[in-house]
Structure 1
Amino acid sequence: MSRLPRTTALLLASATALPLLGAADSSAQVRSPVRDFGRTSVRSGIPVDAKRFTVTSPDLVNGRFPQTNWANAFGCDGGNRPLRLEWRGAPAGTRSFVVTMFDPDAPTGSGFWHWLSWDLPATATALGDTPPPGAVSGTDDAGLRGYLGPCPPAGDRPHRYRITVYALDTASLALPAETPPAVTAFTMSGHVLAFAQTTAVAAR
Protein backbone atom coordinates (compact mmCIF):
# COMPACT_ATOMS: atom_id res chain seq x y z
CA MET A 1 0.00 0.00 0.00
CA SER A 2 1.37 3.40 -0.90
CA ARG A 3 2.37 5.79 1.84
CA LEU A 4 -0.41 8.32 2.52
CA PRO A 5 0.24 12.02 3.08
CA ARG A 6 0.36 12.84 6.79
CA THR A 7 -2.97 14.75 6.80
CA THR A 8 -4.76 11.99 4.92
CA ALA A 9 -3.21 9.31 7.11
CA LEU A 10 -4.42 11.02 10.27
CA LEU A 11 -7.93 11.35 8.89
CA LEU A 12 -7.88 7.72 7.77
CA ALA A 13 -6.76 6.50 11.18
CA SER A 14 -9.44 8.54 12.91
CA ALA A 15 -12.25 7.50 10.59
CA THR A 16 -11.43 3.80 10.62
CA ALA A 17 -11.75 3.79 14.39
CA LEU A 18 -15.49 4.29 14.00
CA PRO A 19 -17.74 1.20 13.75
CA LEU A 20 -18.91 0.50 10.21
CA LEU A 21 -22.61 0.00 9.62
CA GLY A 22 -22.24 -3.11 7.51
CA ALA A 23 -19.41 -4.75 9.39
CA ALA A 24 -21.61 -7.01 11.51
CA ASP A 25 -24.38 -8.11 9.18
CA SER A 26 -25.11 -6.39 5.87
CA SER A 27 -28.33 -8.40 5.50
CA ALA A 28 -29.93 -6.92 8.61
CA GLN A 29 -32.75 -4.45 8.05
CA VAL A 30 -31.90 -0.92 9.12
CA ARG A 31 -34.90 0.76 10.69
CA SER A 32 -35.35 4.45 11.28
CA PRO A 33 -38.27 6.15 13.02
CA VAL A 34 -40.79 7.57 10.56
CA ARG A 35 -40.49 11.15 11.69
CA ASP A 36 -39.12 14.43 10.46
CA PHE A 37 -35.49 15.23 11.04
CA GLY A 38 -33.71 18.56 11.13
CA ARG A 39 -31.54 19.73 8.26
CA THR A 40 -27.88 20.65 8.22
CA SER A 41 -25.79 22.18 5.45
CA VAL A 42 -22.82 20.15 4.21
CA ARG A 43 -20.14 21.59 1.93
CA SER A 44 -20.02 19.78 -1.39
CA GLY A 45 -16.25 19.49 -1.83
CA ILE A 46 -16.65 20.95 -5.33
CA PRO A 47 -14.88 24.28 -5.99
CA VAL A 48 -17.28 27.10 -6.84
CA ASP A 49 -15.36 27.79 -10.06
CA ALA A 50 -15.41 24.16 -11.25
CA LYS A 51 -16.64 23.70 -14.80
CA ARG A 52 -19.64 21.55 -15.69
CA PHE A 53 -20.01 18.67 -18.13
CA THR A 54 -22.79 16.14 -18.74
CA VAL A 55 -23.62 12.71 -17.31
CA THR A 56 -26.60 10.50 -18.13
CA SER A 57 -27.73 7.00 -17.20
CA PRO A 58 -29.71 4.67 -19.48
CA ASP A 59 -30.98 2.92 -16.34
CA LEU A 60 -32.82 5.85 -14.75
CA VAL A 61 -36.43 6.31 -15.85
CA ASN A 62 -37.94 9.69 -15.00
CA GLY A 63 -35.31 10.07 -12.31
CA ARG A 64 -36.18 6.76 -10.64
CA PHE A 65 -34.13 3.63 -10.04
CA PRO A 66 -35.35 0.34 -11.53
CA GLN A 67 -35.45 -2.61 -9.15
CA THR A 68 -32.26 -4.04 -10.60
CA ASN A 69 -30.32 -1.04 -9.27
CA TRP A 70 -31.78 -1.06 -5.74
CA ALA A 71 -29.78 -2.50 -2.83
CA ASN A 72 -30.07 -6.16 -1.91
CA ALA A 73 -29.43 -5.55 1.80
CA PHE A 74 -30.83 -3.65 4.78
CA GLY A 75 -34.40 -4.72 4.06
CA CYS A 76 -34.36 -4.18 0.28
CA ASP A 77 -34.35 -6.96 -2.31
CA GLY A 78 -33.07 -5.28 -5.46
CA GLY A 79 -30.44 -6.56 -7.84
CA ASN A 80 -27.75 -4.13 -6.63
CA ARG A 81 -26.43 -3.75 -10.17
CA PRO A 82 -24.31 -0.60 -10.54
CA LEU A 83 -25.90 2.20 -12.52
CA ARG A 84 -24.58 2.50 -16.03
CA LEU A 85 -23.26 5.99 -16.62
CA GLU A 86 -22.18 7.87 -19.73
CA TRP A 87 -20.51 11.29 -19.75
CA ARG A 88 -19.19 13.82 -22.22
CA GLY A 89 -17.64 17.27 -22.30
CA ALA A 90 -14.92 16.87 -19.67
CA PRO A 91 -12.33 19.65 -19.96
CA ALA A 92 -8.84 19.46 -21.39
CA GLY A 93 -6.33 18.63 -18.69
CA THR A 94 -8.48 15.89 -17.16
CA ARG A 95 -6.18 13.11 -15.95
CA SER A 96 -8.69 10.83 -14.22
CA PHE A 97 -12.31 10.55 -13.10
CA VAL A 98 -14.11 9.74 -9.87
CA VAL A 99 -17.71 8.48 -9.71
CA THR A 100 -19.81 8.80 -6.55
CA MET A 101 -23.39 8.37 -5.37
CA PHE A 102 -24.41 10.26 -2.23
CA ASP A 103 -27.70 10.42 -0.31
CA PRO A 104 -27.95 13.82 1.45
CA ASP A 105 -31.31 12.86 2.98
CA ALA A 106 -30.12 9.93 5.08
CA PRO A 107 -30.90 10.67 8.76
CA THR A 108 -27.26 10.46 9.83
CA GLY A 109 -26.28 14.11 10.18
CA SER A 110 -23.77 13.68 7.37
CA GLY A 111 -25.63 11.94 4.55
CA PHE A 112 -24.66 8.50 3.23
CA TRP A 113 -22.09 7.55 0.59
CA HIS A 114 -23.37 4.67 -1.54
CA TRP A 115 -20.68 4.46 -4.18
CA LEU A 116 -17.15 5.71 -4.78
CA SER A 117 -14.96 4.62 -7.66
CA TRP A 118 -11.76 6.50 -8.43
CA ASP A 119 -8.68 6.46 -10.66
CA LEU A 120 -10.83 5.92 -13.75
CA PRO A 121 -8.61 6.77 -16.75
CA ALA A 122 -8.91 10.11 -18.53
CA THR A 123 -9.99 8.26 -21.68
CA ALA A 124 -13.11 6.87 -19.97
CA THR A 125 -16.50 8.13 -21.14
CA ALA A 126 -18.69 5.52 -19.43
CA LEU A 127 -18.88 3.18 -16.46
CA GLY A 128 -20.76 -0.09 -16.42
CA ASP A 129 -20.93 -3.20 -14.28
CA THR A 130 -17.15 -3.64 -14.23
CA PRO A 131 -14.69 -0.78 -13.57
CA PRO A 132 -11.87 -0.39 -16.10
CA PRO A 133 -8.39 -1.74 -15.31
CA GLY A 134 -6.62 0.38 -12.72
CA ALA A 135 -9.81 1.86 -11.26
CA VAL A 136 -10.45 1.49 -7.52
CA SER A 137 -13.83 0.38 -6.17
CA GLY A 138 -13.91 2.16 -2.84
CA THR A 139 -15.66 1.55 0.47
CA ASP A 140 -19.09 3.06 1.10
CA ASP A 141 -20.64 4.21 4.37
CA ALA A 142 -21.87 0.68 5.07
CA GLY A 143 -18.28 -0.54 5.06
CA LEU A 144 -18.85 -2.43 1.81
CA ARG A 145 -16.79 -2.29 -1.38
CA GLY A 146 -18.31 -1.10 -4.64
CA TYR A 147 -21.84 0.01 -5.47
CA LEU A 148 -24.64 -0.09 -2.89
CA GLY A 149 -28.03 0.74 -4.35
CA PRO A 150 -30.69 2.88 -2.71
CA CYS A 151 -32.61 1.56 0.28
CA PRO A 152 -34.11 4.45 2.25
CA PRO A 153 -35.94 3.72 5.52
CA ALA A 154 -39.46 2.43 4.91
CA GLY A 155 -42.03 5.21 5.29
CA ASP A 156 -39.45 7.99 5.18
CA ARG A 157 -39.67 10.94 2.80
CA PRO A 158 -38.23 10.37 -0.70
CA HIS A 159 -34.45 10.41 -0.68
CA ARG A 160 -32.33 12.12 -3.31
CA TYR A 161 -29.29 10.35 -4.70
CA ARG A 162 -26.67 12.61 -6.25
CA ILE A 163 -24.69 10.76 -8.88
CA THR A 164 -21.56 12.73 -9.69
CA VAL A 165 -18.64 12.31 -12.07
CA TYR A 166 -15.59 14.40 -11.16
CA ALA A 167 -12.83 15.29 -13.62
CA LEU A 168 -9.53 15.53 -11.75
CA ASP A 169 -6.14 17.07 -12.49
CA THR A 170 -4.31 14.02 -11.12
CA ALA A 171 -4.01 10.54 -12.59
CA SER A 172 -4.38 8.84 -9.21
CA LEU A 173 -5.60 9.65 -5.72
CA ALA A 174 -3.14 7.05 -4.39
CA LEU A 175 -5.67 5.80 -1.85
CA PRO A 176 -6.36 2.18 -0.87
CA ALA A 177 -9.83 0.77 -1.49
CA GLU A 178 -10.62 0.65 2.23
CA THR A 179 -10.25 4.42 2.63
CA PRO A 180 -13.35 5.85 4.35
CA PRO A 181 -15.59 7.95 2.07
CA ALA A 182 -14.96 11.21 3.93
CA VAL A 183 -11.21 10.83 3.48
CA THR A 184 -11.62 10.03 -0.21
CA ALA A 185 -13.84 13.08 -0.70
CA PHE A 186 -11.41 15.31 1.21
CA THR A 187 -8.43 14.09 -0.80
CA MET A 188 -10.29 14.51 -4.08
CA SER A 189 -11.53 18.03 -3.32
CA GLY A 190 -8.17 19.62 -4.05
CA HIS A 191 -8.04 18.14 -7.55
CA VAL A 192 -11.49 18.82 -9.05
CA LEU A 193 -11.40 20.54 -12.45
CA ALA A 194 -15.03 19.94 -13.39
CA PHE A 195 -18.02 17.82 -12.51
CA ALA A 196 -21.18 16.33 -13.99
CA GLN A 197 -24.17 15.48 -11.84
CA THR A 198 -27.61 13.96 -12.07
CA THR A 199 -30.06 13.25 -9.26
CA ALA A 200 -32.37 10.26 -8.82
CA VAL A 201 -35.07 9.71 -6.21
CA ALA A 202 -36.08 6.62 -4.23
CA ALA A 203 -38.69 5.92 -1.56
CA ARG A 204 -40.43 2.90 -0.04
Structure 2
Amino acid sequence: MKIKTITVALLFALPTFMSQAAMTLTSQNITNNQTLNNQQLFNQWGCTGKNESPQLTWTDVPAGTKSFAVTMYDPDAPTGSGWWHWSVINIPADVHSLVEGAGTVGGKALPKGASMVTNDFGFKGFGGACPPPKAKPHNYQITVYALNTANIKLPENASPALAGYNILAHVIGKARLIAPTNAR
Protein backbone atom coordinates (compact mmCIF):
# COMPACT_ATOMS: atom_id res chain seq x y z
CA MET A 1 0.00 0.00 0.00
CA LYS A 2 2.85 2.38 0.82
CA ILE A 3 4.47 1.87 -2.62
CA LYS A 4 1.19 2.65 -4.44
CA THR A 5 0.78 5.87 -2.42
CA ILE A 6 4.33 6.98 -3.21
CA THR A 7 3.90 6.13 -6.92
CA VAL A 8 0.64 8.08 -7.14
CA ALA A 9 2.21 11.03 -5.33
CA LEU A 10 5.16 11.02 -7.73
CA LEU A 11 2.84 10.93 -10.75
CA PHE A 12 1.01 14.02 -9.47
CA ALA A 13 4.28 15.80 -8.66
CA LEU A 14 5.89 15.03 -12.04
CA PRO A 15 4.01 17.70 -14.06
CA THR A 16 5.03 20.37 -11.53
CA PHE A 17 8.63 19.21 -11.59
CA MET A 18 8.67 19.06 -15.40
CA SER A 19 7.02 22.46 -15.82
CA GLN A 20 10.30 24.28 -15.13
CA ALA A 21 12.38 22.97 -18.02
CA ALA A 22 16.18 23.27 -18.11
CA MET A 23 17.06 25.92 -20.66
CA THR A 24 20.55 26.89 -21.79
CA LEU A 25 21.86 30.48 -21.87
CA THR A 26 25.07 31.39 -23.71
CA SER A 27 26.81 34.61 -24.65
CA GLN A 28 29.56 35.73 -27.00
CA ASN A 29 30.62 38.22 -24.30
CA ILE A 30 30.22 36.32 -21.03
CA THR A 31 31.48 32.94 -19.87
CA ASN A 32 29.70 31.46 -16.87
CA ASN A 33 31.66 31.98 -13.64
CA GLN A 34 34.13 34.39 -15.24
CA THR A 35 34.49 38.12 -14.69
CA LEU A 36 32.51 40.54 -16.85
CA ASN A 37 34.61 42.38 -19.40
CA ASN A 38 34.88 46.14 -19.92
CA GLN A 39 31.86 46.07 -22.25
CA GLN A 40 29.49 45.19 -19.39
CA LEU A 41 30.91 47.62 -16.81
CA PHE A 42 29.05 50.81 -15.92
CA ASN A 43 30.43 54.14 -17.13
CA GLN A 44 29.78 56.31 -14.07
CA TRP A 45 30.24 56.20 -10.28
CA GLY A 46 33.99 55.69 -10.68
CA CYS A 47 33.66 52.85 -13.19
CA THR A 48 34.89 53.36 -16.74
CA GLY A 49 33.28 50.60 -18.77
CA LYS A 50 31.34 50.77 -22.02
CA ASN A 51 27.98 50.01 -20.36
CA GLU A 52 26.81 47.67 -23.15
CA SER A 53 24.45 44.80 -22.54
CA PRO A 54 25.87 41.43 -23.55
CA GLN A 55 24.85 39.34 -26.52
CA LEU A 56 22.64 36.49 -25.27
CA THR A 57 21.28 33.32 -26.89
CA TRP A 58 18.96 30.78 -25.26
CA THR A 59 18.04 27.25 -26.34
CA ASP A 60 16.10 24.25 -25.04
CA VAL A 61 12.98 26.39 -24.73
CA PRO A 62 10.08 24.59 -22.99
CA ALA A 63 6.85 23.87 -24.84
CA GLY A 64 4.15 26.39 -24.03
CA THR A 65 6.52 29.38 -23.95
CA LYS A 66 4.61 32.53 -24.94
CA SER A 67 7.32 35.13 -24.20
CA PHE A 68 10.66 35.68 -22.50
CA ALA A 69 12.11 38.08 -19.95
CA VAL A 70 15.78 38.82 -19.29
CA THR A 71 17.25 40.33 -16.13
CA MET A 72 20.66 41.20 -14.72
CA TYR A 73 20.68 41.30 -10.93
CA ASP A 74 23.41 41.76 -8.30
CA PRO A 75 22.39 39.97 -5.09
CA ASP A 76 25.60 41.14 -3.40
CA ALA A 77 25.00 44.90 -3.66
CA PRO A 78 25.18 46.54 -0.22
CA THR A 79 21.52 47.64 -0.24
CA GLY A 80 19.75 44.93 1.70
CA SER A 81 17.77 44.04 -1.43
CA GLY A 82 20.38 43.64 -4.18
CA TRP A 83 20.59 45.77 -7.34
CA TRP A 84 18.66 45.42 -10.59
CA HIS A 85 20.89 46.34 -13.53
CA TRP A 86 18.54 45.37 -16.34
CA SER A 87 15.02 44.04 -16.89
CA VAL A 88 13.51 43.27 -20.30
CA ILE A 89 9.97 41.92 -20.62
CA ASN A 90 7.65 40.81 -23.43
CA ILE A 91 10.33 39.35 -25.69
CA PRO A 92 8.31 37.39 -28.29
CA ALA A 93 8.37 33.59 -28.08
CA ASP A 94 9.99 33.23 -31.51
CA VAL A 95 13.00 35.34 -30.46
CA HIS A 96 15.83 33.34 -28.87
CA SER A 97 18.59 35.92 -28.65
CA LEU A 98 19.44 39.55 -27.95
CA VAL A 99 22.21 41.39 -29.77
CA GLU A 100 25.04 43.08 -27.92
CA GLY A 101 23.87 46.55 -26.97
CA ALA A 102 20.15 45.67 -26.97
CA GLY A 103 19.93 47.37 -23.58
CA THR A 104 20.74 50.81 -24.94
CA VAL A 105 18.41 53.49 -23.58
CA GLY A 106 15.47 53.80 -25.97
CA GLY A 107 15.49 50.09 -26.81
CA LYS A 108 16.11 50.50 -30.55
CA ALA A 109 17.92 47.14 -30.75
CA LEU A 110 15.26 45.21 -28.81
CA PRO A 111 12.92 42.86 -30.65
CA LYS A 112 9.55 44.36 -31.60
CA GLY A 113 7.17 44.23 -28.62
CA ALA A 114 9.89 43.95 -25.97
CA SER A 115 10.39 46.71 -23.43
CA MET A 116 12.70 47.59 -20.56
CA VAL A 117 11.79 48.40 -16.97
CA THR A 118 13.51 51.18 -15.01
CA ASN A 119 16.65 49.77 -13.40
CA ASP A 120 18.02 50.66 -9.96
CA PHE A 121 20.20 53.36 -11.55
CA GLY A 122 16.94 55.12 -12.46
CA PHE A 123 16.70 54.66 -16.23
CA LYS A 124 15.19 52.18 -18.71
CA GLY A 125 18.20 50.41 -20.10
CA PHE A 126 21.22 48.32 -19.22
CA GLY A 127 23.31 49.59 -16.32
CA GLY A 128 26.60 47.73 -16.16
CA ALA A 129 28.45 46.31 -13.18
CA CYS A 130 30.09 48.74 -10.77
CA PRO A 131 30.71 47.20 -7.36
CA PRO A 132 31.97 49.48 -4.57
CA PRO A 133 35.75 49.97 -4.28
CA LYS A 134 37.57 47.10 -2.53
CA ALA A 135 34.41 44.96 -2.53
CA LYS A 136 34.57 41.20 -2.69
CA PRO A 137 33.39 39.96 -6.10
CA HIS A 138 29.70 40.52 -6.73
CA ASN A 139 27.91 37.62 -8.44
CA TYR A 140 26.04 39.25 -11.31
CA GLN A 141 23.18 37.01 -12.40
CA ILE A 142 22.01 37.25 -16.01
CA THR A 143 18.82 35.21 -16.33
CA VAL A 144 16.45 34.44 -19.19
CA TYR A 145 12.95 33.31 -18.22
CA ALA A 146 10.51 31.39 -20.44
CA LEU A 147 7.01 32.57 -19.56
CA ASN A 148 3.51 31.15 -20.00
CA THR A 149 2.09 34.57 -20.88
CA ALA A 150 2.62 36.62 -24.03
CA ASN A 151 2.49 39.96 -22.26
CA ILE A 152 3.32 41.29 -18.83
CA LYS A 153 1.51 44.56 -18.23
CA LEU A 154 3.23 46.98 -15.87
CA PRO A 155 2.74 50.65 -15.02
CA GLU A 156 5.09 53.02 -16.87
CA ASN A 157 7.05 53.69 -13.66
CA ALA A 158 7.21 50.05 -12.49
CA SER A 159 10.16 49.02 -10.36
CA PRO A 160 12.32 46.04 -11.31
CA ALA A 161 11.05 44.28 -8.17
CA LEU A 162 7.48 44.57 -9.50
CA ALA A 163 8.66 43.22 -12.86
CA GLY A 164 10.39 40.36 -11.03
CA TYR A 165 7.22 39.54 -9.12
CA ASN A 166 5.26 39.33 -12.39
CA ILE A 167 7.98 37.37 -14.17
CA LEU A 168 8.20 34.77 -11.40
CA ALA A 169 4.42 34.32 -11.47
CA HIS A 170 4.68 33.02 -15.07
CA VAL A 171 8.00 31.10 -15.22
CA ILE A 172 8.01 27.72 -16.99
CA GLY A 173 11.77 27.56 -17.60
CA LYS A 174 14.92 29.56 -16.99
CA ALA A 175 18.66 29.66 -17.53
CA ARG A 176 21.34 31.76 -15.85
CA LEU A 177 24.91 32.93 -16.31
CA ILE A 178 26.80 34.18 -13.25
CA ALA A 179 29.72 36.56 -13.59
CA PRO A 180 31.62 37.32 -10.34
CA THR A 181 33.13 40.79 -10.75
CA ASN A 182 34.95 43.30 -8.58
CA ALA A 183 36.37 45.31 -11.48
CA ARG A 184 37.26 48.90 -10.66
**TM-score calculated relative to the size of structure 1:** 0.74
Map 1:114-193 → 2, pairs under 5 A: 114-128=85-99, 129=101, 130-193=109-172
Counterpart residue number, 2:51: 80
What residue identity is the alignment partner of 1:104? P
Q: CA RMSD in A?
A: 1.6
Aligned length: 158
Q: CA separation in 2, counterparts of 1:136 and 1:120?
A: 8
Q: Deviations over 1:93-126 (max 9, x none)?
A: 0000000000010011111110000100000110
Q: Deviations over 1:122-157 (max 9, x none)?
A: 001101122101100111112111111100001010
Contact 1:69 1:78 in 2 (8 A): yes
Q: CA separation in 1, counterparts of 2:66 and 2:82?
A: 28
Most deviating of 178-187 and 153-162? 178-187
Unaligned runs of 5+ in 1: 1-46
Most deviating of 71-80 and 170-179? 170-179
Counterpart residue number, 2:104: none
What residue identity is the alignment partner of 1:94? T
**How far apart are residue 178 of structure 1 and its match?**
2.8
**How far apart are residue 187 of structure 1 and its match?**
1.4
Matching of residue 106 in structure 1 with residue 77 in structure 2? yes
**TM-score calculated relative to the size of structure 2:** 0.81
Matching of residue 95 in structure 1 with residue 66 in structure 2? yes
Q: CA separation in 2, counterparts of 1:178 and 1:131?
A: 19
In structure 2, the residue corresponding to 1:171 is in which secondary structure?
A: coil
Q: Specify whether residues 177 and 116 from structure 1 end up closer, same or farther in structure 2 by C-alpha distance, changes over 3 A only.
A: farther
* Identical pairs, percent: 42
Q: Specify whether residues 149 and 105 from structure 1 end up closer, same or farther in structure 2 by C-alpha distance, changes over 3 A only.
A: same
**How far apart are residue 196 of structure 1 and its match?**
0.7
Unaligned runs of 5+ in 2: 1-15, 102-108
